[in-house]
Structure 1
């Protein structure tokens, strides 16, 4: 098949959606499909385009068998809610011409968009409909819900406008998928017909993430003893993670349990604030993003993996790091409300505590630190789940099968075509920012 992906994040960014998009495209190429990508320059999670990055905007380059075209994008140094709107709007604007050109000249079988960014997705389904090819939207993150539920945007009128536009965008695609049953349920609640929805979860490479000794160079670098306990967070450091809760738990345990250490590895807009919060605490250590070749060693450093999460972020996203946590055969402590996707994934392979409850987080870490047999049992169950549910080759194979089946499906009815004849109503970024 010929597959054209339009997504805001791609390699060399290392984490989150960029990693997923890259691995999906390269895996499809390995299965003899042709894949082209329209994306932005790398910027995430530092929110900064690397100095000296040789972008050559709009010039196609072949990287590991994937043809990549990059479009310029506005990257705010401090990503507030309004600036994020401008950020996504700029990507939608600059990708319009290369998308139209490649779609008409190359004639892909499937046009694939990943959310974020939903703004650029609107044009993907519109162009696909006009040239007679199938469109697929894969939702990694309900960005509109997250922006308002987490307080990045607050205006009620703006929320109503954006949710209406989101609903039209979602319903304009031939297929809409997401990464957990709860997120698929949210798609249904937003008006996507059940026959067009699909759950396709994220994955890990189970041959690259595997159990190994906990005595790693990271422990030596921080002077952490062989019998000490490490709680590890690895990933993006932004508002929705709630990493201040980890530092608060470290404060509670600093004197009563000096053998318990916390490592926070990653980058993001909240990192400077977290460093300031942790100043003077000898049991909190920070790392930057680690290269892929060191990632398994980082995962093995943990005695316990930590997935803090604000209650407002429940079922807006399923943390992509969960598969790697399971693959490392270490227990996990997740902050999640009972019945959410994250809570159900972790049950039996770790402990679930209430979001925002620092004391419960600290107590859970102490409980696991004092029960190595329980840690081993949780770790073994996690590893088993990673092999059964998160294996990269099996999941990418399902992607290919579903795309092939969709390509062969009959064209949409005239009624459906009329409903999606035009792109969803545009949101005026200028007007949105002006709203109080």
Structure 2
């Protein structure tokens, strides 16, 4: 009975904060061609988070809502990037708010800023435990036709999966991150015995979903290796709103003035989460090697657990600047700050995640340098678009940045814009709805 009397927060976020508003506005809305479906989405990340999985979960929910479906969300307080809760939200309370026409229930989560070490296990586990009774309650109260779980975190799957089966709803797992594999590759978790137990848990629950969606071919292959059938797993890449992010002129960018960067300087930009998987210490080291080339500036825009360390590492470098996370309405202008986008990746984790920021980089019509090794999906996608120094090689990254100033980019950029169109929200999201209706 207590679960029916959650505090109704005086928070009606609607779409006025800009999160996902561009996608909602630029994709044909109105009732779907099929019958309206009730869909419950269970995800640890949701608006007002500006980047990462929360951005895509929000935009998917808004698209489905605009298509006439009835959507409900069970999620955590906003905490990404950085693993700390932003005001006015609280980490220890059940709170319900209205987002557009969607009911959003936020469940408690115990976390430590930056989520070091075992906190990468404790925080999502605490959310999964706190959300379990709520998601079961909402599934039986809401009676959805479809339950979508988003990984991370797979720990949330058991309760949602069981409740979905009991009430006859179809279940879909959206794999944004192979979190079990990534946790061991990055070093958040260690130990062969722990990994074997985690793999057993993962494989058993993966097999219980009616459908699995993931964001890359390599991640699909990894899921098939975990025992899933080819027919069960679909690939739908993370999308980019190509109506909101467009190539903009270099000469009118306000961020140059804000950062005190000369108009003729060559700006190397990284924009996104500042975490260990992004290997941004490599970019700082490359900037140090390039410090003698006074016209090259490195700008790091974003937030995350590595921010303080990166600022400390670069404190003596006059060619490094930092920007905070930017709102959605300034994203196109931010990406247009770049003369060159840089996308470093931690060696060994390249095919466990596919960087969500890639779509925006491509759509901005700017050159790209990405650290990627032959055989990885990122390398295969970008081999005729970007310069691709190997992961972990600081000298090669610095040389690629320096070389990018002198090569002819027009054909590479054009191919990048064509690839961005295949990843556009107008292309991907209707296919998602079709998959849900199948």
Aligned match of 2:12: none
Matched, 1:22 2:55: no
Aligned match of 1:84: 120
Aligned length: 401
| Structure 2 SS opposite 1:108 | coil
Give the one of 211, 236, 240 matched to 1:204. Answer: 240
**Cα deviation, residue 189, structure 1:** 0.6
Aligned match of 1:192: 228
Aligned match of 1:234: 271
| Structure 2 SS opposite 1:60 | strand
Give the one of 396, 416, 423 matched to 1:382. Answer: 416
Matched, 1:11 2:43: no
- Whole-angstrom CA distance in 2 between matches of 1:351 and 1:123: 45
Question: What does 1:174-185 correspond to in 2, within 5 Å?
Answer: 174-185=210-221
Aligned match of 1:104: 140
Aligned match of 2:361: 325
CA contact (8 A) 2:92 2:110 kept: no
Matched, 1:392 2:425: yes
Aligned match of 1:93: 129
- Whole-angstrom CA distance in 2 between matches of 1:129 and 1:17: 25
**Cα deviation, residue 94, structure 1:** 1.1
Question: What does 1:158-307 correspond to in 2, within 5 Å?
Answer: 158-215=194-251, 216-255=253-292, 257-307=293-343
- Whole-angstrom CA distance in 1 between matches of 2:410 and 2:237: 26
- Whole-angstrom CA distance in 2 between matches of 1:183 and 1:42: 26
Q: CA RMSD in A?
A: 1.3
**Cα deviation, residue 122, structure 1:** 2.2
Give the one of 378, 394, 402 matched to 2:435. Answer: 402
- Whole-angstrom CA distance in 1 between matches of 2:153 and 2:90: 23
| Structure 1 SS opposite 2:150 | strand
| Structure 2 SS opposite 1:225 | coil
Give the one of 160, 165, 170 matched to 1:129. Answer: 165
Q: Structure 2 stretches of 5 or more lacking a match?
A: 1-36
Aligned match of 2:375: 339
**Cα deviation, residue 55, structure 1:** 7.9
Range with bigger deviation, 166-175 or 47-56: 47-56
Aligned match of 2:23: none
CA contact (8 A) 2:245 2:364 kept: yes
- Whole-angstrom CA distance in 1 between matches of 2:413 and 2:368: 8
CA contact (8 A) 1:76 1:84 kept: no
**Cα deviation, residue 384, structure 1:** 1.7
CA contact (8 A) 1:261 1:283 kept: yes
**Cα deviation, residue 234, structure 1:** 0.5
CA contact (8 A) 2:82 2:114 kept: no
CA contact (8 A) 1:57 1:69 kept: no
| Structure 2 SS opposite 1:289 | coil
Aligned match of 1:138: 174
CA contact (8 A) 2:91 2:109 kept: no
Aligned match of 1:433: none
Normalising by structure 2, we get a TM-score of: 0.89
User: Which structure has the highest helix share of the two?
Assistant: 1
- Whole-angstrom CA distance in 2 between matches of 1:61 and 1:249: 45
Q: CA 1:60/1:53 → structure 2, altered by over 3 Å: closer, same or farther?
A: closer
